[in-house]
A and B are shown apart, each in its own frame.
Chain A
């Protein structure tokens, strides 16, 4: 395993750890559910994708083991984590969680809720 590959693996790990720390700070500091969801679903996804890419490079370069489950895991997380963030944000809005009090505009205000539309 050459030094260049080691440097690339270390770079991806440092970027991933920085993004996971950004996730935690966002979830602690931001004011309401929607901004917290914005922080969690973006930076956590990108951080764990960087760490999994570093793991794939480590095993491929160290032992010559091409692990296809890691590739599948990266693709699956990239597809499903934003979908989960969208679903939980929509559920929060439809169950009546208020926005931050300094929010400027709310384009969905006054639209019918999900259960009213289905009746």
Chain B
């Protein structure tokens, strides 16, 4: 019974990722694509959690924390690039 719910949830998250990929491809502006890619990273965390439950192992659970950190850093860097034109600012020459 619980295994059936795992499969249904995995199907729902996969359909959701397909919709987000549609937004990445079609999105009219760059912030649309960044929002959709951030949501794809978060859905990937959910897929890893579901697959580790289906395989009945807890060896993959470090990947969840790692992927959360990487998605956050990527989104912050991209939004700073969109806003200021550079990611790491140089020192200002007074």
Contact = CB atoms under 8 A, between A and B. Distances in A.
Contact of A20 (B13, B23, B58, B75): B13
A41 B2 CA distance: 28
Interface string B1-44: 11001101100110111111011000001111011101100110
Interface string A9-37: 11001101110110111011000010011
Given A17-B8, A24-B20, A84 B45 contact: no
B9 A14 contact: yes
Given A73-B65, A87-B76, A91-B82, A6 B43 contact: no
Contact of A24 (B8, B16, B32): B16
Contacts of B6: 13
Interface in A48-97: 48, 51-52, 54-55, 58-59, 62-63, 65, 67, 69-70, 72-73, 76-77, 80-81, 83-85, 87-92, 94-95, 97
A71 to B, nearest CB: 10
Most buried by B among A47, A67, A73: A73
A72 B85 CA distance: 33
B23 A6 contact: no
Interface in B41-94: 42-43, 45-46, 49-50, 52-53, 56, 58, 61-62, 64-65, 68-69, 71-72, 75-76, 78-80, 82-84
B19 A97 contact: no
B43 A90 contact: no
Interface of A: 6, 9-10, 13-14, 16-18, 20-21, 23-25, 27-28, 33, 36-37, 40-41, 44-45, 47-48, 51-52, 54-55, 58-59, 62-63, 65, 67, 69-70, 72-73, 76-77, 80-81, 83-85, 87-92, 94-95, 97, 114-115
The 9 closest A-B CB pairs, nearest first, are: A24-B19, A17-B12, A92-B31, A24-B16, A91-B79, A84-B75, A91-B83, A91-B82, A17-B9
